[in-house]
Structure 1
Amino acid sequence: MTTIRLAIVRQKYRPDGGAQRFISRALEALDNSGLELNIITRQWSGEPQPDWQVHICNPRGGGRIARERGFADAARRYWQQHHFDLVQSHERIAGCDVFRAGDGVHRAWLAQRARIIPAHQRWLTHISRYHRYVLSAERDMFQSPQLKKIICNSAMVRNDIMHYYGVAEDKFALIYNAIDPNRFAPADGAQRRAAREALSIPEQACALIFVGSGFARKGLRQALSAVADTDRYLIVVGQDKHQRRYQALAQSLGCLSRVRFTGVRQDVLPCYHAADALILPTLYDPFPNVILEAMSCGLPVITSQRCGGAEFIEQGREGFVCDALDIASLKTFAAEMPSRERDPAMGAAARQRVSTCTPANLSRQLMGLYRQLLS
């Protein structure tokens, strides 16, 4: 079996990022699978395995557009010079063989963002050089004759690309992210008690967890509104430069005493162990890893229709789904969500639903795709 020289392109590698976790889980699973793994990146802050080749492409550039365009040009030049068998880009760079649409579709995101920003900001978005650059790069990549396959981590993203860019259905591979079910497992009684004690959450209370940085997109305002008139606690994991505004909002809604802002956590597991369910009324999210993590920990999920993770939720079975801005439904779902102690059935269904999303399964799907493209 010949070794495949695979190059993976990602501008920045951050250990806590969703796309990076996909890459590291995929690469760990792909290790020893007849692959020579090459990472083309501007900045790598993780711990690469000894047999991964990391290639730094970090051209100087002033503004945001110059940096993005500079990296795209440098990465493309690098892979053309080194003649890899396959180039899989996680950035919108025309000329790659495989594109993984882990960040979703920029046009779809802007359409959702327009729902929560004032008219003058919509106008500024329309004339923004940066957004025009990203939309142009996105269009050029999807229309590139070199592009052989698009990996989507949700059917929602695949359908968005078909809708906005007219790409044929046979160009897609739907490959869900992976989760380690041994690490992300339901808490036992002692773990739950310890996790709750650390967060000062009463043992009998029902607690929801919200995980994500960038609170406006992820829907923290709606999550706070959902728990405000209930007795539910809310654990907020993540960061945002406007965190004080959200604390003030919780104060004005009368629920601040039941909200725990924990900041970014390197290890979110104890926070999942303290919770009974995940709430993520995100405006637009291709398929956040936190949904897999929470479900694997036995937590049902409340999320939005424009979240790829909604595909894993049958209403009332593994959780609940509604429009991201439907506060009335979110309030109903938050109030109806049972605590794990009282009724673990929904959490058990959630864990069962993600049981096929293993690193080994991800590895098999990716290797199958690479061999198909090279045959």
Structure 2
Amino acid sequence: MKIALIRKKYTPFGGAERYIDALIGQLLDLGHEVHIFANEWQIVNAERKAQNGKLFFHDVPMIKGLSVLKVLSFALNARRLVKKERFDVIHSFERTLYQDIYRAGDGCHKEWLIQRAKYEPLWKTILVRMNPLHWAFLWIEKRLFAPENTKIVIANSRRGKEEIIKHYHFPEERIQVIYNGVNTSRFNPANREKYRSAVRMELGLFDSDRVILFLGSGFERKGLSFALEMLAGLSDSRIKLVVAGKDNPQKYRKLANQFGIKDRVIFIGPTKEPEKLYAAADVFFLPTIYEPFSNACLEAMASGVPVVTTRVNGASEWIREGIDGYVIDDLGDMSSCRSKLAQCLGQISCKAADTRRFQLSWQEHVEAVKSIYDGVFCIRAGG
């Protein structure tokens, strides 16, 4: 099949990006021709470079400057360019205007606005709602979830499916829940022995330190301020927080200083090798305000690292309480949150690494996506 994939940035940073790269690898291995429509791309995977004969990139222009113009210009230009060629399947990973399949990896923007309003002052909520960028997202989202514009929506959690139905009344039978998979050859408990000591030494951490890992780009939505506040309430100075991800840390450095924990927080920026950080960590903590499905949570569990995250994270549907970690229902209940973190740090040790279920998950995931592609191919061929 000749397959078009739409993504603004194809880079090595981020859980979504690692997911897309792994899917592309599977499609190429199966002999499909893959075309990536992106505004920015960077191939660092040696295997992907070797497969370049059937992997093609198309530059989607995007107006620089205002974010609202970037969003609208990418959606409009992606539609224009994809229509120039005939594809068997058009699969979008962005909010766009022309696709057969939309993977709702970024969730539902209308729901995100509702969730963030719970944790911000009223004046900020009003300013956010007046921002043209959010109008643009909602304008595109309304058209994206119109049944005549998209054949199939892939949601990565049951919660995500329910949000789309609630806000846009998209036909339930045309939304398929396919949980994300994880590459267990890359993310597994054996990494602990290979990398743990060296990575801790590099970060200036001692063997006796208890390390909480926060990994994710977009610190506000991922809940870094909550992570810092919770760390401040854990008096043991051996408990350290390692923060990795793409965002400006300045605001959060100041917050750590205000909480009196600046010496217990290590900011390292984006990483191309998250598996090494999981190996160095004792618990993975993601107190996100809204998260359709955190790939990093699966990666951590597959690596044998217990996870503490919020109920609004679709990945929480995978967590077996007391085995893989714990789920937070209310970020406002700091006492309960700290208790769950402390339990992970003190009791759970590598119980999360039932890698067989993650391996099965990835195989099932790829088969499910292929099945959707086959269905779209038949519809197009019949049309």
For residue 285 of structure 2, what is the amino acid of its counterpart?
I
The corresponding residue for 2:381 is none
Instruction: Compute the displacement of 1:239 (Å).
Output: 4.0
Name the counterpart of 2:10. 13
Q: Which moved more, 1:212-221 or 1:253-262?
A: 253-262
Q: Which residue of 2 aligns with 1:332?
A: 339
CA distance in structure 1 between the aligned counterparts of 2:194 and 2:65, rounded to whole angstroms? 52
Q: Is the 8 A contact 2:188 2:353 kept in 1?
A: no
Unaligned runs of 5+ in 1: none
Q: Distance in 2 between matches of 1:285 and 1:264?
A: 19
* CA–CA distance in structure 2, aligned partners of residues 158 and 136 of structure 1: 19
Is 1:285 matched with 2:282?
A: no
Question: Could you report, residue by residue, the CA deviation over 1:173-214 in whole angstroms, capped at 9, with x for unpaired residues?
Answer: 222222211211123446322222222323233221110122
2: distance between equivalents of 1:298 and 1:62?
A: 42
How far apart are the structure 2 equivalents of 1:61 and 1:337? 45
Deviations 1:2-21, CA, capped at 9 Å, x for gaps? xx221111122222033322
| Match of residue 260 from structure 2 | 254
Q: Is the 8 A contact 1:225 1:331 kept in 2?
A: no
Q: Give the Cα separation in 2 of the matches to 1:271 and 1:337.
A: 17
Equivalenced residue count is: 367
**3-state SS in 1 of match to 2:110:** helix
Other-structure match for 2:122: 119
Q: Distance in 2 between matches of 1:28 and 1:329?
A: 42
Q: Distance in 1 between matches of 2:309 and 2:287?
A: 5
Gaps of 5+ in 2: 379-383
Query: In 2, distance between residues paired with 1:170 and 1:195?
Result: 47
Counterpart check, 1:272 vs 2:283: no
- DSSP-derived class of the 2:361 partner: coil
Q: How does 1:359-370 map to 2 (within 5 A)?
A: 360-370=363-373
2:184 to 156, 167, 181: 181
User: Displacement of 1:133 after TM fit?
Assistant: 1.4
For residues 168 and 61 of structure 2, the distance between their equivalents in structure 1, rounded to whole angstroms, comes to: 30
Q: Tell me which stretches of 4 or more aligned residues in structure 1 moved more than 4 Å.
A: 59-62
Instruction: Give the root-mean-square deviation of aligned CA atoms.
Output: 2.1
Does the 8 A contact of 2:11 with 2:42 survive in 1? yes
Residue of 224, 227, 236 corresponding to 1:223: 227
Deviations 1:34-69 (A, max 9, x none): 422111122222355411121112154653333322
Select which of 86, 90, 105 maps to 1:87.
Answer: 90
Q: Percent identity?
A: 33
TM-superposed CA distance for 1:315, in Å, is 2.0
Paired residue type of 1:235? V
Match of 1:234 among 221, 237, 241: 241
Counterpart CA distance in 1 for 2:307 and 2:333 is: 16
Question: How far 1:291 moved relative to its partner?
Answer: 0.8
SS of 1:28 mapped into structure 2: helix
Out of 28, 35, 38, the residue aligned to residue 38 of structure 1 is 35
Find the residue that maps to 2:90 and give its secondary structure: strand
Q: Which moved more, 1:327-336 or 1:184-193?
A: 184-193
- TM (normalized to structure 1)? 0.91
Distance 1:33 1:251, change over 3 A: same
Checking the alignment, whether the CA contact within 8 Å between 1:94 and 1:144 is kept in structure 2 is: no
SS at match of 1:54: strand
Query: In 2, Cα distance between the equivalents of 1:368 and 1:261?
Result: 42
Counterpart contact for 1:305–1:324, Cα < 8 Å: no
Aligned amino acid, residue 244 of structure 1: Q
Separation in 2, partners of 1:59, 1:136: 18
Aligned to 1:294: 300
Q: Secondary structure at the match of 2:321?
A: coil
Q: What residue in structure 2 maps to residue 347 of structure 1?
A: 352
Distance 1:201 1:315 in 2: 29
Q: Distance between the aligned counterparts of 1:109 and 1:59, measured in 2?
A: 24
> What is the deviation of 1:305?
0.8
What is the distance in 1 between the residues matched to 2:13 and 2:337? 28
Report the alpha carbon displacement of residue 84 of structure 1 after superposing the two structures with TM: 1.1
Mapped to 2, the partners of 1:184 and 1:177 lie a distance apart of: 14
SS in 1 for 2:29: coil
Residue 205, structure 1, aligned to residue 209, structure 2: yes
Residues 353, 259 of structure 1: alpha-carbon distance in 2 compared, 3 angstrom cutoff? farther
CA contact (8 A) 2:192 2:280 kept: no
- Cα distance, 1:330–1:117 mapped onto 2, change above 3 Å: same
Of 51, 54, 65, the match for 2:57: 54
TM-score normalised to structure 2 length: 0.89
CA distance in 2: counterparts of 1:290 and 1:365, whole angstroms:
21
1:27 aligns with 2:24: yes
Matched position secondary structure for 2:36: strand
Question: 2:255 aligns to what SS in structure 1?
Answer: helix
